[in-house]
């Protein structure tokens, strides 16, 4: 029996797919080379914004056409979780729509998805499943699921549930397995990474106190240090800015991967309050300056939402000024999409989509110039490059799959860490030669 999994959306979904593949392999399935050759075809969908949902539906319909007539088509992931019943009714091509924690291989009719809001994780929880051997020298490692925050624009807590952190023992065990498979870089992910472990403290959830959490400090600090003892590189993604404590900043810098992926979303204080988020441009700049004081070569990434209800020309100017001052290495911009069940869904003062796009273009252009200048200034410096695939590598400054890359000689072995001289920049990419 063969399976095919098509994954949409973010890195967190990719990890879920790997875990689903691990479960199917344990059940006797083997991977197919294409959907046409599979007995079980799975679409792991994304429901983040309208465009992601449209892409998920298109993919499901495409898979329905490509699969063999006797193969089963199963839809899972965020969209299945959020719109399960409607999806099952609207897509007769699909054999089964399953929410998180439900069997892909059960042959009973379409299941009604169940949101994950348990106090104790079940044995079928995706977080607890094994994963197949790594096929690259880097891998995502998901350390928590769900989120305890309630940002105005975000529907994730409504269908992924409150935060449930894995134990440090589980995380370290998975990290060791990945390292044994040849992984040199582990990329930690969660919806709100900096809060990892906080939920395990709460007695009302019936879970044990975190073993690493000696003094009720931020548990992620000790986990980051423990992981850095196991693997060459540990990279942390999605850091909510108020979670960026002195201790965490210090632990990240100590690992040698001074890469800060800050989830900022905007710089205007009134708009951030309307988004029900912490901070403002001045506070973010102060934290960035503190990081640069400790590590002048730190790299920064962030993402921003444009066109949130109530956003004014003044807010746009505040964000443009912030970009000029922050000099981030990388930034992504997304237009606001009203999501059912969120605080922002019913807000007045909507920004029309053309204006939002115009603002997004203005911000992207401003940031593109900053990114290009920051890449250019690296020419003539040295970098330790992890070769990801033939001719392509990354230093600590480049996160896999989102940032630019470093072009290296094709004779360098995949998985090797090589000291290089940066000789040129090509857009967002750099060219390097081994020393």
Tell me which of 240, 284, 300, 333 binds ligand SF4, using CB under 6 A. Answer: 240
Q: Report the C-alpha gap between 409 and 390 in whole angstroms.
A: 8
Q: How far apart are CA 111 and CA 102, in angstroms?
A: 8
User: Of 202 and 389, which has the nearer Cβ to ligand SF4?
Assistant: 202
Q: Are the C-beta atoms of 259 and 298 separated by less than 8 Å?
A: yes
Residue 147 as a binder of ligand SF4 (CB under 6 A): the answer is yes
3-state secondary structure of 113: coil
Using rule CB under 6 A, residue 363 touches ligand SF4: no
CB of 149 to ligand SF4, least distance (A): 4
For residue 140, the cross-strand partners are: 187
Which residues partner with 387 through β-bridges? 393
> Based on CB atoms, which residue is closest to ligand SF4, 73 or 151?
151
Reading across the β-sheet that carries 138-142, which strands appear in turn?
138-142, 185-189, 233-236
Q: Which of 19, 160 has the CB closer to ligand SF4? A: 160
* For ligand SF4, the closer CB: 183 or 189: 189
Q: In what order do the strands lie in the sheet with 96-97?
A: 30-31, 2-7, 40-45, 72-77, 96-97
44 binds ligand SF4 (CB under 6 A): no
Q: Is 344 in the site for ligand SF4 (CB under 6 A)?
A: no
Q: In the complex with ligand SF4, which residue's Cβ is closer, 83 or 238? A: 238
Which one of 149, 201, 343, 384 is in contact with ligand SF4 (CB under 6 A)? Answer: 149
Residue 156 touches ligand SF4, criterion: CB under 6 A: yes
CA distance 119 to 163: 10
Interface residue with ligand SF4 among 6, 16, 95, 192 (CB under 6 A) is 192
Does residue 405 belong to the site contacting ligand SF4 (CB under 6 A)?
Answer: no
Answer for which of 9, 11, 157, 243 binds ligand SF4 (CB under 6 A) is 157
Query: Which range in 1-9, 146-154, 353-361, 388-396 contacts ligand SF4 by CB under 6 A?
Result: 146-154
Q: Are strands 40-45 and 72-77 parallel, antiparallel or unpaired?
A: parallel
Nearest Cα residue to 414 out of 207, 184, 127, 122: 184
**Per CB under 6 A, which region of 142-150, 179-187, 292-300, 396-404 contacts ligand SF4?**
142-150
Is 220 exposed, middle or buried (CB count within 10 Å of its CB: 0-12, 13-18, 19+)?
A: buried
- Residues in a beta bridge with 434: 420
154 is a contact residue toward ligand SF4 (CB under 6 A): yes
Please give the residue ranges that form the binding site for ligand SF4 (CB under 6 A): 147, 149-151, 154, 156-157, 191-192, 240
């Amino acid at each position: 029996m063969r399976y095919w999994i098509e994954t949409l959306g973010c890195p967190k979904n990719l990890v879920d797919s790997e875990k689903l593949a691990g479960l199917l392999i344990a059940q006797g399935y083997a991977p197919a080379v294409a959907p046409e050759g599979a007995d079980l075809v799975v679409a792991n969908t994304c429901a983040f914004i309208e465009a992601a949902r449209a892409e998920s539906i298109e993919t499901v319909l495409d898979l329905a056409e490509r699969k063999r007539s006797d193969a089963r088509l199963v839809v899972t992931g965020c969209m299945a979780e959020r719109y399960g019943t409607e999806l099952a009714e609207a897509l007769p091509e699909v054999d089964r729509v399953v929410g998180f924690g439900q069997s892909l291989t059960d042959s009973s009719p379409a299941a009604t998805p169940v949101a994950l809001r348990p106090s104790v994780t079940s044995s079928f929880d995706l977080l607890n499943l094994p994963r197949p051997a790594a096929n690259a020298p880097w891998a995502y490692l998901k350390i928590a699921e769900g989120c305890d925050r309630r940002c105005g624009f975000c529907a994730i807590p409504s269908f992924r549930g409150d935060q449930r952190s894995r134990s440090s023992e589980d995380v370290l065990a998975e990290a060791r397995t990945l390292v044994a498979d040849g992984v040199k870089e582990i990329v930690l992910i969660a919806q709100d990474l900096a809060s990892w472990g906080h939920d395990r403290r709460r007695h009302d959830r019936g879970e044990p106190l975190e073993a690493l959490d000696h003094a009720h400090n931020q548990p992620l600090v000790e986990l980051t240090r423990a992981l850095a003892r196991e693997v060459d590189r540990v990279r942390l993604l999605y850091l909510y800015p108020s979670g960026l404590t002195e201790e965490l900043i210090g632990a990240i810098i100590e690992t040698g991967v001074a890469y800060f992926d800050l989830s900022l979303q905007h710089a205007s204080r009134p708009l951030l309050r309307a988004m029900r988020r912490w901070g403002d441009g001045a506070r973010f700049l102060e934290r960035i300056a503190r990081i640069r004081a400790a590590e002048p070569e730190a790299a920064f990434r962030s993402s921003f939402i444009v066109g949130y209800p109530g956003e004014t020309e003044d807010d746009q100017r505040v964000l443009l000024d912030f970009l000029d001052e922050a000099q981030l290495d990388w930034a992504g911009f997304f237009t606001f999409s009203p999501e059912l069940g969120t605080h922002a869904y019913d807000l007045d003062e909507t920004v029309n989509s053309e204006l939002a796009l115009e603002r997004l273009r203005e911000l992207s252009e401003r940031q593109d110039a900053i990114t290009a200048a920051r890449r250019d200034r690296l020419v003539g410096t040295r970098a330790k490059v992890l070769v990801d695939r033939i001719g392509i590598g990354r230093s600590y400054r480049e996160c896999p799959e989102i940032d630019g890359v470093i072009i290296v000689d094709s004779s360098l072995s995949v998985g090797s860490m090589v000291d290089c001289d940066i000789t040129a920049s090509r857009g967002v990419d750099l060219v390097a030669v081994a020393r």
